[in-house]
Structure 1
Amino acid sequence: MSESVTKSGGCQCGRVRYEVNLASHDAYWCHCRMCQKATGGIAAAFVQVDAENVRWLTQPDWYRSSAIAHRPFCAQCGTPLGFAFLDGAGGFDLTIGSFDDPADFVPVAHAGAESIHEAWLDTRSLPRHFSATTESVAKRWKAAGLEVPE
């Protein structure tokens, strides 16, 4: 990415929103147990940004996730939005999944590698099921009078 770009994001319910000026689309996976617990996933996907480049349009809630870090989230819907060290050093991380359009991000590194679940790294050979063609999902969206979201 040769010049900076502004991207937006927020939580699932829409209460918390942000804009960030990005210098790069380089992202990373953090596999540490803290990130696994904080997201409920096998890893957390982040992009690191300068904290001063994040503009909260509506303020997130924060919780102290360890003796050295705290994390923004939405207390209404539970969406994890990022990670920051308490001392403010080392940049600020936003969760890739909280961006409105996360398609441009590219993972370039693995952090917290001591806790990687290797079996989950390369899943290309697994069958892929799409929400719109999974009957148990699609019929519920249709019954709600809605289209299956992307």
Structure 2
Amino acid sequence: MTAPHTGGCRCGAVRFEASAEPHHISYCHCGDCRRASGAPVSAFVGFMADQIALDGKSLKTFENGPVTRSFCGVCGSPIAYVDERLADQIYFMLGAMDMPAYFRPTLHAHVREQLPFLHMPDDLPRHLKTSVPRPSSSNPDGTQS
């Protein structure tokens, strides 16, 4: 499968289309993603923002520090997040994609926050913290704080 990749919310009030392949596909085990999604683990598909067309007058946002999460104001479906430290990138919820099976995660992030009863027996790389370097949280040795 090649671009365009499409997705949206449950009720159809929010739709989006990516004109290129994603640059990042991952699971996230952090508590913030758990609360935003209501699931024990989240999965994201990352694109460059200039590759996205978004149609959603009902799109609502919630800001938490440098992260802004979007959701449908009609049906409540979580849609995406942007992080001001990751210029020009947008990360869509894998479940919001029309063809979610196409997007196989390639790693796990924030596994130090993974719920103890959640077992995902795969061979994917596991990052204790973030898997995407954020300039304001990088240490001189390249590790994340």
TM-score, normalised to structure 1, is: 0.72
Q: CA RMSD in A?
A: 2.3
Q: Which residue of 2 aligns with 1:62?
A: 61
Checking the alignment, whether the CA contact within 8 Å between 1:26 and 1:105 is kept in structure 2 is no
Q: Give the Cα separation in 2 of the matches to 1:42 and 1:90.
A: 28
Q: Which residue of 1 aligns with 2:13?
A: 15
**Structure 2 residue aligned with 1:105, among 85, 103, 108?**
103
* Matched residue SS, 2:69: strand
1:57 CA drift (Å): 2.2
Describe how 1:105-144 pairs up with structure 2 within 5 A: 105-122=103-120
C-alpha deviations, 1:29-50, integer Å up to 9, x for none? 0111100000011111101110
> Which residue identity does 1:13 align to in structure 2?
C
1:6 CA drift (Å): 0.6
Describe how 1:27-46 pairs up with structure 2 within 5 A: 27-46=25-44
Q: Give the Cα separation in 2 of the matches to 1:90 and 1:110.
A: 22
Residue 86 in structure 1 maps to residue 52 in structure 2: no
Structure with the larger helix share? 1
Checking the alignment, whether the CA contact within 8 Å between 2:23 and 2:46 is kept in structure 1 is no
Q: Sequence identity of aligned pairs in percent?
A: 29
Checking the alignment, whether the CA contact within 8 Å between 1:83 and 1:93 is kept in structure 2 is yes
TM-score, normalised to structure 2, is: 0.74
Q: Which residue of 2 aligns with 1:147?
A: none
Q: Which residue of 1 aligns with 2:127?
A: none
Stretches (4+) displaced over 6 A: none
Checking the alignment, whether the CA contact within 8 Å between 2:78 and 2:93 is kept in structure 1 is yes
Q: Give the Cα separation in 2 of the matches to 1:71 and 1:62.
A: 5
Name the larger-Rg structure: 1
> Which residue identity does 1:7 align to in structure 2?
H
Residue 71 in structure 1 maps to residue 69 in structure 2: yes
1:86 CA drift (Å): 2.9
* Matched residue SS, 1:45: strand
1:111 CA drift (Å): 1.1
Distance 1:115 1:90, change over 3 A: farther
1:62 CA drift (Å): 1.3
